[in-house]
Amino acid sequence: MGYEVTPWEVKGKIDYERLIEDFGVSKITPELLERIRSTAGGLHPLLRRGFFFAHRDLEKVLKDYEEGRGFFLYTGRAPSKSPMHIGHLIPFLMTKWLQEKFGVNTYIMIPDEEKYLAKKVDSLEEVEPRVRQDILNIAALGFDEDRTFIFRDTEFIGRMYKAAVHVARHINFSTAKAVFGFQGETSIGLIFYPALQIVPTLFEHRRPLIPCAIDQDPYFRLQRDVAPKLGFYKTAELLSKFVWGLLGPGTKMSASEPETAILLNEQPETAVKKILNAFTGGRATKEEQRRLGGRPEICVVYHWYTLLFEEDDKKLAERELACRTGRLLCGPCKRELAERVKRFLEEHQRRLKHAEKKARRMMYDGKLASEMWNWEFKPRQPLQPY
């Protein structure tokens, strides 16, 4: 089918319409967006511009909120060989927005074993410096420190293991193989790992909502089979597309191919150079571009404006028009983006300096973190479908 999307591999040019059908998720409709807008009192640009494009049970989350049952947020990041890139921030920025709008608890898993079990890194030691760096990157975003719990698996496993055993008992190998495409050479650690990624959906007896890119859906498809059997809610999901890499439309930004990505720990000047080399929707010559106009729909630079670097819809529309009519050439448009990305990185790197204390509170002694270090899993009566 020309592309592949699994939690460990994303390749080729993705047909998102097709993926919605293959994965059995629902499209976010204009009506649903309106409901979010009225319940949240606004719409994040990543929602109103369709980057978060699909979901499961989002309408039920809104109903739970409106009727006072509430919900909670859960997302995560698996540290790898390479540092986080700007694309990895997207689910966290969305999660933070939702936390601010709805005032709900947020759980952030750092599976420090996942990439090792998936054979993406050669040793656990190799991941170690990234674990700390990734946690600081996330902590620097400014989550509510008393309502957020950040935990790494190798440390929090004692609290999660019992729940993982219950989850794992309900998933048989044929199902896991069909969902994840496990092969004979897959490590048995990776085969068990999905049970762990499901555990945080059982942290509260409320509906979880998971903001993430669509590659993570297979885990939560399984969760939706298992959770009701343990007396817990099926998880809801808010799913995004993938941020394009710098070298072409529809490609995935990948930290292991640094020329495609802006890394969060990058020297701002290096980032500027990368943006100036990015693929655009421009024409072969200036003359041609003035005559025919540019093509924002295939332009990586425009894509990045829409995601993180132009919040104002009116200004974005003006930029698009100026491009299409040949008034705006790629040089100045790229330079302006490069400047914004540079400022963004400088600001993020400045915030990192104060992130250590925030991370400690969210991992150990903030209100939610302290409670979670005493959390105990108790299975409940199976839930009626709800």
Toward ligand TYM, which CB reaches closer, 190 or 338? Answer: 190
Among the listed ranges 73-81, 93-101, 125-133, 162-170, the one in contact with ligand TYM (CB under 6 A) is 73-81
Q: Looking at this protein, which amino acid is placed at residue 266?
A: E
Mask for 75-94, x = binds ligand TYM (CB under 6 A) = xxxx--------xx-xx---
Residue 383: DSSP 8-state: P
Toward ligand TYM, which CB reaches closer, 80 or 289? Answer: 80
Q: How far is the CB of 28 from ligand TYM (least distance, A)?
A: 16
For the packed helices 86-102 and 30-40, what is the interaxial angle rounded to 10 degrees?
60
Burial of 277: CB neighbours in 10 Å, binned 0-12, 13-18, 19+: exposed
* Phi, psi values for residue 316, rounded to 5°: -65, -45
Q: Residue 191: in which H helix or E strand, if any?
A: helix 188-198
E strands, the chain, where?
A: 3-6, 9-12, 26-27, 52-56, 71-76, 106-110, 148-152, 207-213, 236-240
Q: How far is the CB of 266 from ligand TYM (least distance, A)?
A: 16
Q: Count of residues binding ligand TYM (CB under 6 A)?
A: 24
For the packed helices 268-276 and 330-352, what is the interaxial angle rounded to 10 degrees?
160
Toward ligand TYM, which CB reaches closer, 167 or 210? Answer: 210
Q: Is 252 in the site for ligand TYM (CB under 6 A)?
A: yes
Distance CA 245, CA 60 (A): 34
Q: How far is the CB of 39 from ligand TYM (least distance, A)?
A: 22
Burial of 26: CB neighbours in 10 Å, binned 0-12, 13-18, 19+: middle
Interacting residues with ligand TYM between 148 and 177 (CB under 6 A): none
Interacting residues with ligand TYM between 190 and 249 (CB under 6 A): 197, 210, 212-213, 215-216, 240, 242-243
Q: How far is the CB of 324 from ligand TYM (least distance, A)?
A: 26
Beta-carbon neighbour count of residue 131 at 10 Å? Answer: 19
Residue 94: DSSP 8-state: H
Q: How far is the CB of 293 from ligand TYM (least distance, A)?
A: 28
* Phi, psi values for residue 289, rounded to 5°: -65, -40
The half-sphere exposure of 287 on its side-chain side, counting CA atoms within 13 A, is 0
Toward ligand TYM, which CB reaches closer, 75 or 306? Answer: 75
Interacting residues with ligand TYM between 110 and 129 (CB under 6 A): 111, 114
Q: How far is the CB of 329 from ligand TYM (least distance, A)?
A: 28
Q: How far is the CB of 243 from ligand TYM (least distance, A)?
A: 4
Q: What is the token pair recorded at 304?
A: 């990045």
Of 5, 7, 14, 320, the one binding ligand TYM by CB under 6 A = 7
Q: How far is the CB of 291 from ligand TYM (least distance, A)?
A: 35
Burial of 247: CB neighbours in 10 Å, binned 0-12, 13-18, 19+: middle
The footprint of ligand TYM (CB under 6 A) covers 7, 74-78, 87-88, 90-91, 109, 111, 114, 197, 210, 212-213, 215-216, 240, 242-243, 252-253
